[in-house]
Homo-oligomer: A and B are copies of this chain.
Amino acid sequence: MGVLGAQGKVGQAICAAVEAAADLEFVAGVDKGEDLAAFSAAGAQVVVDFTHPDVVMGNLKWLVEHGIHAVVGTTGFDAGRLDEVRSWLAGQPEVGVLIAPNFAIGAVLSMRFAEQAARWFESVEVIELHHPNKADAPSGTAYRTAGIIAAARAEAGVGPSPDATTTELEGARGADVDGVRVHSVRLAGLVAHQEVLFGTQGETLTIRHDSIDRNSFAPGVLLGVRRIGALPGLTVGLDPLLDL
């Protein structure tokens, strides 16, 4: 397999993970300004792309045209971009492309479980906890998680979480994301953590994900590399590879 942006922080971590995996072989790395032909020359079957929204479409087009599967963690894919990738793949029916916003398996499972649990509890709230250097609150993951929960509840006809608050100090009850309350904690000593709390009469269910290492995407990327050859077409999100 090959890596785009191999000299970058993420690229290096992926190279290290591939090296530690007995069943995978790193054959080529390409960085900014270098020629993609290195991948075909080296016989790469899968290429990982954690680059930049500005260049990822060009990379992907080239890979698909050259019959090379792609595992993509680069951000910035909207519906239009996904359709464009699908159109390229239409002409290459044996090629697989995996595009995922999150490769941390724990985070992906958390969201999936939250979606499955959502309709079975009266109440739900999300607490996300991060290091104090984070600029946005709530985190993108919390935002997405709350949206998924809200959609699952709406589909099942579950009403809003009960809440008798009449006197609130501004902000105490958190932010409202599609009717789901989200609380953002910023604390030195933390990295990236999230808790989804579900509750009904007499019982609560908590799904907590803790990430203390920016390399926690590596196992998910390797999973993608191993599986994408058997998944022709476009796959969005890691979920379909998790056999849930």
Question: In whole angstroms, how far apart are the Cα atoms of A186 and B164 in the complex?
Answer: 9
Chain B residues whose C-beta falls within 8 Å of the C-beta of A243 in the assembled complex: 119
Chain B residues whose C-beta falls within 8 Å of the C-beta of A110 in the assembled complex: 205
- Does A113 sit within 8 A of B, measured CB to CB? yes
Question: In whole angstroms, how far apart are the Cα atoms of A121 and B220 in the complex?
Answer: 11
Chain B residues whose C-beta falls within 8 Å of the C-beta of A185 in the assembled complex: 125, 127, 174, 181, 183, 197
Question: In whole angstroms, how far apart are the Cα atoms of A179 and B113 in the complex?
Answer: 25
- Does A171 sit within 8 A of B, measured CB to CB? yes
Chain B residues whose C-beta falls within 8 Å of the C-beta of A170 in the assembled complex: 171, 175
Contact A187-B164, Cβ < 8 Å, known A170-B175, A198-B106? no
Chain B residues whose C-beta falls within 8 Å of the C-beta of A219 in the assembled complex: 120, 200-201
Candidates B173, B175, B213; contact of A203 at CB < 8 Å: B213
Candidates B136, B186, B200, B218; contact of A188 at CB < 8 Å: B200
B135 touches A166 (CB 8 A): yes
B186 touches A203 (CB 8 A): no
Taking CB atoms and an 8 Å cut-off, the chain A residues in 89-122 that contact chain B are 104-107, 109-110, 112-113, 116-117, 119-122
